[in-house]
Amino acid sequence: MPSRPMDRLQRPQTERSPLVDFDFDRHRLHLEGESYPEDAAAFFGPLLVALDHYLVHLRAEPPASPLVVDLRLTYFNSSSAKAFMNLFQRLEAAARDGVEVQVNWHYQSDDETMMEFGEDFREDFQAARFELCVFD
């Protein structure tokens, strides 16, 4: 665990990768856009490492407010899906350890595919809250 506060992790959205905004101080992670980076492991690796460090801190000193994860994706490929599963497994494990976790899966009202992906991911959560959120 870092000895100093963690810096906010931000990456701009590109044609192939989502916006990433991990505000450690506010306990918020936001991913938005399309996700089919050339190398998903290289793209998501730093995010997963940062999440691991952050969750160590939260387990030691749970905050008064939950960790909120907002995903607003319009498309992702299978390698991104695997990265999301890795992310979700870490969140669920932290929730089992007493960290309050809220995952919000945002999808457009006319996008049945993204709704179904959200429903599928939600099935893997028991300790963390996983909400499906419609937007237009």
User: pLDDT tens across 44-64, in order?
Assistant: 999 999 999 999 999 999 889
CATH class, domain 9-135, is alpha beta
Alpha-helix residue ranges (DSSP H) falling in 2-39? none
pLDDT band at 5 (very low <50, low <70, confident <90, very high): low
84, two tokens: 């999301």
Do 100 and 127 form a contact (C-beta atoms < 8 A)? no
User: pLDDT tens across 97-136, in order?
Assistant: 999 999 999 999 999 999 999 999 999 999 999 999 999 8
Domain ranges of the chain: 9-135
* pLDDT at residue number 4: 44
Q: What one-letter code names the amino acid at 6?
A: M
User: pLDDT tens across 80-99, in order?
Assistant: 999 999 999 999 999 999 99
Report the mean per-residue pLDDT for the chain: 94
